[in-house]
Structure 1
Amino acid sequence: MNLRPDLYQNPKLVTVFGGSGFVGRQVVATLTKRGYRVRVAVRHPEKACYMWQIGEVGQMQMFKTNVCLRESVARALVDTNAAVFLTGSLCSAGKNNFESVLINGAGNVAEFSAAFGIPLVHISSLNAKTQSCIPYIISKYEGERIVKSTHPTAIILRPSLIFGPNDNSLNKFSDMVRFLPVLPLFGDGRTQFQPVYVGDVAEMVVRAVSGEIPSSKVYELGGPTILTLRKLIEKILSIIHRQRAFISIPFFLIRFLRSIFDFLGEKSLIPTFVITRQVSMLQYDSVISDSAISEGRTLRGVGIKPQGLDAILASYLWRFRLCGQFSRN
């Protein structure tokens, strides 16, 4: 399906790799509201039919793409005016492992974007670092490194914990609370976060695409409040009107159990909903650095007022209350 540039306010075409995920949907929606035409490059367009409700008729195009294949990436970037890399998963399995997607895939998109003269916005993670024992975090860091060397003018965004309707973290945790009488508190709940609203992340992407912020920089995205893991959990419990006891679990035990499950792989029949990479990443703080604040490489630094948890969480976590939206605490 061809996208007619004369139908919309902004004739520019933006290709969003991984645009069907939680953050991607918000980015695509924000781009279409600004009049952009959007090409959503995903591996399985048939599994993302919900995307068709975004934008005007013909304003968005689903495009079958595998970022691990160079030819596929090149096709997705034909006639594109800007590219956004959002592809990523916490699950590393088979051919779609961290190295293939987060490193090689990011490199492919950066290489062809640079070759075609296309501006690139690369979404990474605030705790991406090379000094880590977590493969996901190391892969995010290596992906950044390749993007910087391949596409020097690319803009890299490093968000903290992203929250919003349909998020994959706070929703899942709230659902888990319903069935657990005691909640695990990893690392005694001292890990710090600076949760950022998905709408603010999408706004930052759009400003990067439109050239409203300086290129060749790494921006750190966080909300207005810094919370420890314990405080974040207590806030969620207050919103969903639940009371739970805590049990502290040291990180060395998590690493030990993860190594066992990684060794067993698919042979394991033991439920592993707690022993996940998300849990392992809780040992690293996810807070904006002082240098990013002083240099203006933040949401506030580019004129975006970040929205806080208190204004957003209750609007979508109410469904986990015992008696629904209008239940009393």
Structure 2
Amino acid sequence: MTTYYQILELPEQASAEDIRRAYLRLVRLTHPDRTPDPTAHRRYLLVNEAYDTLRQPNLRARYDANLAAARQPPRPAPPRFAQPFGGNAYQVLRVPYSATPTQIEQAYQRLRQQLGAVPTDPGLRAYLHQVEHAYATLSSPQLRPAHDARVRGQRPRPAADPYAQAYRRLLPYARPVCWALAAFFLLLVVDRNLTVSFPNEPVQELRCESSSYCWVQTPNATFKVRDASETDRFDVERSALFRKVRGYQRRLAAGGREDYVDYSENTIYGFAFLFPLVMGLCAGLGSWPRSSARRTVDCAIISTMLSLIAFYLLTVL
């Protein structure tokens, strides 16, 4: 078979520029205006056909692929088998039980390439016969169902979880815990975004624990200030549900006001909100009806630990 490269008198690794030069050279020699030779005219047509294909990268790639496929020796057809393979065809071809026809074909081609066309070793010939029989079984719509029904009991089963029974016993307790902690997280979210203001609050109790700060208790809040007196009044902002002070502004006896002091970044609703956020995600995952017993119990344990941290931060910070 004469290839387009042979027509242009080029190797198959020729570049696009080499193809163009060869085409121009051969056209000058075979063009009907330059020679009356009928053989040259036929060659001129072949040169144009070869150049039209090789000058376009996509057509050249397709032509090279077809050329390589044509040069490969034909694969011998596997022998026909009337009965399904006696062993486990999936293990012989090294494919999963859910293998598609494409995966089975690729596995068969790989093994054939490794074994060669006709192995000389008797053991390899016997193995090749098993490969052919296994491939024919899995490729046949008639043989594969019967083979699958026979080897169904041979399929590997996942190892049993030694703690599965313990997780199932804890599941009735873990899921309500996840529901309760998910509700607690929702309350924290609502409280984080719901602020109540109390203007002109009088001081009910003042406790100075050191020279640097004092605890002030008003009718609706308790918070820490740098310094204060019992005659001061405060404009206080706190959360609605858990009464966490967001900030305050002190009214001076002389009639002025100090700058507003913001507590939001130093409470659980600031940087420490990461703990209830992760708690809420774990509790929601454990509350999901499709979660396994192991996942629900693990999420309940993690969210409970995080809820204790969140409760501590809620009462201390």
TM-score clears 0.5: no
* TM tier relative to shorter chain: under 0.3
Larger fraction in helix: 2
Larger C-alpha radius of gyration, 1 or 2? 2
TM-score, normalization by structure 1:
0.17
TM-score, normalization by structure 2:
0.18
Of structures 1 and 2, the one scoring higher in RCO (CA 8 A, sep 6+) is 1
